[in-house]
Amino acid sequence: AAKRAGGNRLQVFSDEMRVAVKERIAAEARLRAALAGDREAALPVWFQPIVSTATGRIVGAEALVRMFTPEGTLLGPGHFIPAAEETGLVVPLGEHVLRLAVRHLVAWTNQLPYISVNVSPRQLAEPDFVPMVASVLAEHPGLDPSRVVLEITETALLGSAVDVRDRLEAIKDLGVRVALDDFGTGYSSLTWLQSVPADVVKLDRSFVAGLAADPRKSSIISAVLWLARSLNMTVVAEGVEDPDDWKALQAAECPSCQGYLFGRPLPASEFELMLPFPEAARPRQLAG
Ligand code: C2E
Ligand code: MG
Ligand code: MG
Ligand code: MG
């Protein structure tokens, strides 16, 4: 009977695999179509605030891509980034996201200090990656490049043919900043810190959620904060949902926070309502 149950389970699993393969093929076709058409409509970039821990004021935003299917269904990146990575479509997709995010950043000059954009390992490995970033920056001559942060995950380091360190140095030569995304979840976080010229550590939400009630988590956070400070890096705590966790991050003097407590990712037109009124457009009588 045990053997039969095992056999059945195997059967179910391979059905699931078949579905997964079908979904992957469908995802690739959708992505190709989206990139070929009106990219801004099919692949909008949403923005989530990053706030100063001390004040709760917006200091930056992370750009997060979304996808509308032709039927009008909204998909999160988990539904198409893996297929984009596998097929290499993440290269044109990533360029689209960066260009769109930077365009918004320029429109929000005086309202939003910086924008943070995810870069996939596949993108980073492209020989054209650094020239691509340079050409997007060159589209906005007045832009301070340090207002652009590129988020890299630890997997970019592993099994990559290119020297990631050299590539990141070349990116930093453009004046943009580099963040280590999902910090603490990989196998070699300390290797990261030792070998990568980054400016920002984004502490993964698994260390942040439930922090106030877990002394081990708060010890880890204190240690990472100390380490980051020693290495001249700043820290963003990801996934802050709970006011008690925010208080604990304030007590630990973590510089900045991101999470549903401060705002979910929103379309640009809604996100900008969270920003302070632009200085230049402020009515005279109020500017006083
Ligand atoms: P990430 O870069 O670590 O982005 C943070 C993710 O956590 C976002 O999910 C965000 O919506 C979610 N999040 C933020 N605050 C909270 C919170 O308080 N609680 C919880 N439970 N979640 C929170 P999203 O937008 O679904 O993106 C998922 C991942 O997809 C991103 O993780 C990133 O790795 C990838 N991604 C998103 N946009 C892009 C892109 O343009 N290019 C590439 N290569 N990857 C992207
Ligand atoms: Mg990120
Ligand atoms: Mg992250
Ligand atoms: Mg994360």
Atom 20, ligand 1: residue with shortest CA distance: 239
Task: Kindly give the distance from the C-alpha atom of residue 248 to the centroid of ligand 2, in angstroms, as a whole number.
Answer: 22
CB half-sphere exposure, 209, CA atoms < 13 A: 7
| Pairwise CA distance, residues 284 & 286, whole Å | 5
Phi and psi for 137 in degrees, rounded to 5?
Answer: -65, -40
256: CB partners within 8 A, 6+ apart: 50, 51, 52, 53, 59, 60, 234, 235, 236, 237
| Pairwise CA distance, residues 208 & 124, whole Å | 28
Is the C-beta atom of 241 inside 6 A of ligand 1?
yes
Residue-level pLDDT, tens digit, the chain, 288 residues: 444 545 555 556 688 888 888 888 888 899 999 999 999 999 999 999 999 999 999 999 999 999 999 899 999 999 999 999 999 999 999 999 999 999 999 999 999 999 999 999 999 989 999 999 999 999 999 999 999 999 998 777 666 667 888 899 999 999 999 999 999 887 667 877 887 889 999 999 999 999 999 999 999 999 999 999 999 999 999 999 999 999 999 999 999 999 999 999 999 999 999 999 886 555 555 544
Atom 44, ligand 1: residue with shortest CA distance: 120
Locate 163 and state its tokens: 């020297």
Write down the pLDDT at residue 277: 86
Write down the pLDDT at residue 288: 41
Is the C-beta atom of 152 inside 6 A of ligand 1?
no
Among candidate residues 160, 161, 158, 151, the one with its CA nearest the CA of residue 188: 158
**Complex ipTM over 0.95:** yes
Task: Kindly give the distance from the C-alpha atom of residue 240 to the centroid of ligand 3, in angstroms, as a whole number.
Answer: 12
CA 162 to the chain's CA centroid? 22
Atom 41, ligand 1: residue with shortest CA distance: 65
Is the C-beta atom of 89 inside 6 A of ligand 1?
no
Atom 30, ligand 1: residue with shortest CA distance: 77
Question: Ligand 1 test: best mutation among 118, 180, 266, most atoms within 8 Å of CB?
Answer: 118
9: CB partners within 8 A, 6+ apart: none
Task: Kindly give the distance from the C-alpha atom of residue 80 to the centroid of ligand 3, in angstroms, as a whole number.
Answer: 17
Task: Kindly give the distance from the C-alpha atom of residue 202 to the centroid of ligand 3, in angstroms, as a whole number.
Answer: 6
Using DSSP, state whether 183 is helix, strand or coil: strand
Write down the pLDDT at residue 9: 55
Q: What is the pTM of this model?
A: 0.91
Write down the pLDDT at residue 282: 53
Among candidate residues 252, 165, 248, 265, the one with its CA nearest the CA of residue 209: 248
Task: Kindly give the distance from the C-alpha atom of residue 63 to the centroid of ligand 2, in angstroms, as a whole number.
Answer: 8
Write down the pLDDT at residue 284: 53
Which atom belonging to ligand 1 lies closest to the Cα atom of 238? 15
Residues composing the chain: 288
Is the C-beta atom of 180 inside 6 A of ligand 1?
no
Write down the pLDDT at residue 60: 98
Is the C-beta atom of 182 inside 6 A of ligand 1?
yes
Task: Kindly give the distance from the C-alpha atom of residue 181 to the centroid of ligand 3, in angstroms, as a whole number.
Answer: 5
Q: How far is CA 283 from CA 57, 76, 110, 150, in A?
A: 22, 39, 15, 35
